[in-house]
Amino acid sequence: MNANSTPRALSISDAARAYSIGRSTLYLLLKQEKLRDVKVLGRRLVLVDDLERLISGEAAR
């Protein structure tokens, strides 16, 4: 991946900052299974595709 490519997943803090929503809101959306996450080396990452679907009004797959 080069420096200009878009990340496929963001940390909770980075996702909250990038999408202007609170961290607690992100955790709630994860709990409600409206967003998916992955764990990589102990880090919880939110999938950018799911964030984009949520913003556009579609449900997470």
pLDDT in tens, 2-55: 566 889 999 999 999 999 999 999 999 999 999 999 999 999 999 999 999 999
Domain range annotation of the chain: 9-56
Residues 6+ apart with CB under 8 A from 23: 12, 13, 16
Residues 6+ apart with CB under 8 A from 11: 43, 44, 45, 46
Q: Specify the pTM.
A: 0.80
Residue 60 has pLDDT above 80, yes or no: no
